[in-house]
Structure 1
Amino acid sequence: MTSEKTVLITGTSSGIGLAAAIGAARAGWTTIATMRDMGKAEVLLKAATENDVAHRVQVKRLDVVDPESIAACLDEVIAEHSHLDALVNNAGAAQVGTIEQSSLDEFRAAMEVNFFGVVATTRAALPHLRAAQGRVITVTSVGGVVGQPFNEAYCAAKFAVEGFMESLAPVAATVGVDVTVVEPGAVASEFVANLSLDVPALLAAAGPYAPALQAYIARTRDSFGNAQTPAEAAAPIIDALTGDRPPFRIQTSQWARDFVATTLADLDGSAVQDLTRTWVR
């Protein structure tokens, strides 16, 4: 067992999750770095060794769409460390397409990973976080604030996550648990590469939407060419993890702040939180 603070982070095989795991360990936290495919742990373990934090990083299997996997992982964490001080919901998957060309199964799959996975993991962790007076930090997206073309399923899920967390935050605060969402913009990571998009096939199947899809793909490639690094995007997660009272909503860059400002005048979520806290007092 350890007296160090313990954080569980989902989706740490690459990108923001990997960078957040290393950042949390460097900040002195015992870091439970989870992933669905344990065969992808090598990159994370190598980074932990290179940053001299391997002694603070434990890799465990957790599949956010499998409640038994979530429960088994949390049981192990509590058995080994006796407490859990923070949860970082990071696991996610992109889904590109418009609804007329996408199947309902594809849409549901995106919702399962990006929304219900967050709900299930948060629900399972909350009793432990309540005992520790801990916090929930969830990586959403600027796509959880501004709907984006050909991202209907992904943005729907991220909008749902934002609504879920914004509603949960004042309730969780009454039992000592802080809730924060972190909104990255474009991040240069394997997230986009993992889409494995067959662009010619997508365009061929897009029918009347092909010109719009082609323009969207070109714009997306350009935006990810000038993206934040995973470490840059993960830095606000570590700030939220280690800060005294993190705000409800954090953007990871000035670009992200400017982008969500098109629909959010209340950038840090304080006005909404001030209002809804009065509903539970």
Structure 2
Amino acid sequence: MKSPFKYLTLDSVAQAELTFSTISVVLATSIVLLTLYYFRKRPTICPVTDLGARVVLITGCDSGFGSGLVAACTDQGFEVVAACYTTDGAKKYDKIENVYAVVADLTDDEGISDVVAFTKQRIGVRGLFGLVNNAGVALPGNVDWAKPPTYEATMKLNFFAPVKLVYALLPSLKRAKGRVVNVTSVDGFINLPTNAAYCSSKHALESYSDVLRCEMLPWGVDVVVIQPATMRTPLAMAFADSWHRSFETAESDRRANYGDGWAEKVKQAMKSGISDIAQSPELTVSALLSALTLRSPPTRITTGTASWLVFKPLSKLSDRTRDSILYAMSFGAAKEPLALEHGTPPEGVVSHITIKVSSLSQSIAFYQKFGFSLVGDPTSSQAMLKGGAHKKWQPLLLLSSTGSPLKRPESWSAGMQRLCIYVADFDVQVGRLKAAGLEPYAPLAGKSEQIAAYKDPDGFVVYLIVFHLPLGPIVDITRLWYGAQYPMMFHLSINVASDFETAKSSYAKLGFSKVVYEVGRDKHQKNLLPAFGLSESETHIDGVRMCQLPNDVFSITLLKWTEPETKREGGELLNSLAITVKNVKEAVRSAREAGFEVEEERLTKVPLLGEAIVGAAFVEGVRIEYVKFLD
């Protein structure tokens, strides 16, 4: 039998022992070094003596850390120059001994000059012992809608003001062997969503502080960075409202991809989160005072439980892992899907439905009562609306005004004549519409389904539907799976005048080949007809087919009516639907070869969705657009 120790030699044993010894030494050395580093970061308190002869300039003294530090410094015997932004902020220092307030706007050169001149007058030949760059501003907003001036304004106060003050006062700081204390934030070592401008400014100040500290070694000027987590300061406690205002004042096409409901819930979650983790500003004031009073202060002091419990560990993760966690922390609590999960519709879906209207304002008001929201900036003749949130693309509604009265034919005439909206809470929505002044134009109808039908100001039919047993639970599970919110666009009815088999074949050639549901003559739920003002006994429908594009979840429903008979009555072009395609020219060519009348591609602009190449095919006069969006 072969020995299991065949390859174990004296040399290999010796090598293993050597390796083990090396590892032991490395581990022991690492433990010693880490221990020394740990205690190095926590120096023994050795206060500076004779503080009464020393002058400290503190910016941002109207409130918050600055106000607290002024009080702490005077208690320690410092002479304080308090730079305030407002006259009211400076008044409270009028009768406090050894505090000299100066009012200035640090975002402009004149304000910087005023503070520098005032400070030099106070210090005389003594030199400046401390410069605390505490003044700051947070202008929150997502990158998607925060405009460049937001960054410029933030950098002016949070970064350029400290740089200018240090440059002007550095000779005085050198003379006193003083120290510069820069207030950054945990945002100086981790980037938090909704606050890009602030994070950028604090990262810049951190970098500047590192270089300044190194270069000042020969002159004995200490540079200390204070990194507070969330504290109960006016700046922090107003953050959620400031963020929400930035959303409300953003351009409408920027807001469209998020939705007002989403923003409101994010704001509320943000308020609650900040309230939960915010700590007393005194923690940071104490750290600032230490930076001024310790003989050899640490180069960085981080304050707040959240800094070491949450933000420091997060900063050590990989980028993608950290991004996922921070996104969930910032927006996940809203529990509200984004208004549009896709900024631009993907290929192979119905991107939008165009409905001709006579009065844009009246029609917008009608659809808003149903829950549709206006997105983008309406023009004098067009407006885009969206339904409820959905994980998949849901068609948009493009209202296009003719500026003159419309003659819309009855709902069984050829063309697109009815839009179906699915609701889970049928009675609630019917009651809500009634309270908003909308009444069904015929009695409610149905058994295993229920329908309430309404007409827009020009006679286009929009109806609500809900399924009970047996289909209801299936539809509700599907709705929950996709996170669909009311109003959920269910399908669009298209009445066909030709032979039903020919019509089915025509729409299949246009891409609507996935059959969801199909019945023959009078096999539909006739008890639903009274909701449209039609007789159950006198109305006959030869066939119904609900079908979709292969990659879509929105359906069209083809109907062939015989009593009353579907005819082309001139209303076919009052509506149209658009299909997104990879190549408009190729789609138009295929439609032409299939025998359809076509419209060649052209460049146009669609509200909200931007520039697009559009072509079209016509089925019994009904316009089906092919669209390729360029934005």
Whether these two folds match at TM > 0.5 is yes
Q: Which runs of 4+ in 1 moved over 6 A?
A: none
- Cα distance, 1:230 vs. partner? 2.0
Change (3 A) 1:10 1:245: same
Partner secondary structure for residue 45 of structure 1: coil
Is it true that 1:248 corresponds to 2:312 in the alignment?
A: no
- Supply the distance in 2 between the matched residues of 1:137 and 1:4 (Cα, whole angstroms): 19
Q: Which residue of 1 aligns with 2:105?
A: 63
In structure 1, list runs of 5 or more residues that go unmatched.
266-281
Match for 1:263: what amino acid?
Answer: S
Deviation at 1:223, TM superposition (A): 3.5
Task: State the shift of 1:264 in Å.
Answer: 6.3
Asked which structure has the greater CA Rg, the reply is 2
In 2, distance between residues paired with 1:264 and 1:28? 41
Hey, what's the Cα distance between the residues in 1 that align with 2:106 and 2:90? 17
State the partner residue of 2:273.
Answer: 223
* Equivalence map 1:94-113=2 (5 Å): 94-113=138-157
1:250-269 paired onto structure 2 within 5 Å: 250-258=301-309, 259-263=311-315
Which residue pairs with 1:239 in the alignment? 290
User: Which of 208, 223, 227 is 1:183 aligned to?
Assistant: 227
**1:116 maps to what in 2?**
160
| 1:136 positional shift | 0.2
**Structure-2 separation of matches of 1:200 and 1:70:** 30
Instruction: Give CA-to-partner distance per residue, 1:15-35, whole Å, 9 cap, x none.
Output: 111111111111111011111
When normalised by structure 1's length, the TM-score is 0.82
Higher strand residue share: 2
Provide, for residues 125-164 of structure 1, a one-character-per-residue CA deviation record: whole Å limited to 9, x for no partner.
2111011100000110111111011101110111111111
Question: Which residue identity does 1:199 align to in structure 2?
Answer: H
2:85 to 36, 56, 60: 36
Match of 2:72 in 1: 23
Counterpart of 2:147, as a letter, is S
Match for residue 174 of structure 1 among 218, 241, 249: 218
TM-score normalised by length of structure 2: 0.38
Pair 1:8 & 2:57 matched: yes
Instruction: Give the structure 2 partner of residue 207 of structure 1.
Output: 256
CA distance in 1, matches of 2:302, 2:138: 19
- Tell me, yes or no, if the aligned pair for 1:136 and 1:179 is still in contact at 8 Å: yes
Distance in structure 1 (CA, Å) of the matches to 2:224 and 2:243: 35
Counterparts of residues 148-163 of structure 1 (less than 5 Å) = 148-163=192-207
| 138, 141, 144: which one aligns with 2:188 | 144
1:199-250 per-position Cα deviation (integer Å, ceiling 9, x unaligned): 3772584332457755653343123324122222211000111001111111
Give yes or no for contact 2:140–2:243 (8 Å, CA) kept in 1.
no
User: Percent of pairs identical after alignment?
Assistant: 28
Give the helix-richer structure, 1 or 2: 1
Cα 1:115–1:213 change in 2 (3 A) is farther
> Could you say what secondary structure the match of 2:136 adopts?
coil
Count of aligned positions: 257
Counterpart residue number, 2:442: none
Report if the CA contact (8 A) 2:84-2:104 is conserved: yes
Q: What is the Cα deviation at residue 56 of structure 1?
A: 2.0
The gaps in structure 2 that reach 5 residues or longer are 1-50, 318-631
CA spacing shift, 1:173–1:62, aligned 2, 3 Å: farther
Q: 1:239 to 1:201 in 2, by over 3 A?
A: closer
Q: Measured at CA, do residues 261 and 120 of structure 1 come closer, stay the same or move farther in structure 2, by a change above 3 Å? A: farther
- Residue type at the aligned position of 2:225: V
The one-letter code matched in structure 2 to 1:101 is W
> Cα offset for 1:103?
1.4
Q: RCO greater where, 1 or 2, for CA within 8 Å and sep 6 or more? A: 1
Deviation at 1:89, TM superposition (A): 0.2
Query: Which of 120, 145, 163 does residue 78 from structure 1 map onto?
Result: 120
Q: 1:13-72 CA deviation, whole Å, 9 max, x = no partner?
A: 001111111111111110111112223224x438xx6xxxx1121111232222232223
Q: Return closer, same or farther for 1:212/1:252 CA change in 2, 3 Å cut-off.
A: farther
Secondary structure of the structure 1 residue equivalent to 2:230: coil
Give the CA deviation at 1:185.
0.9
For 2:306, the aligned partner's letter is W
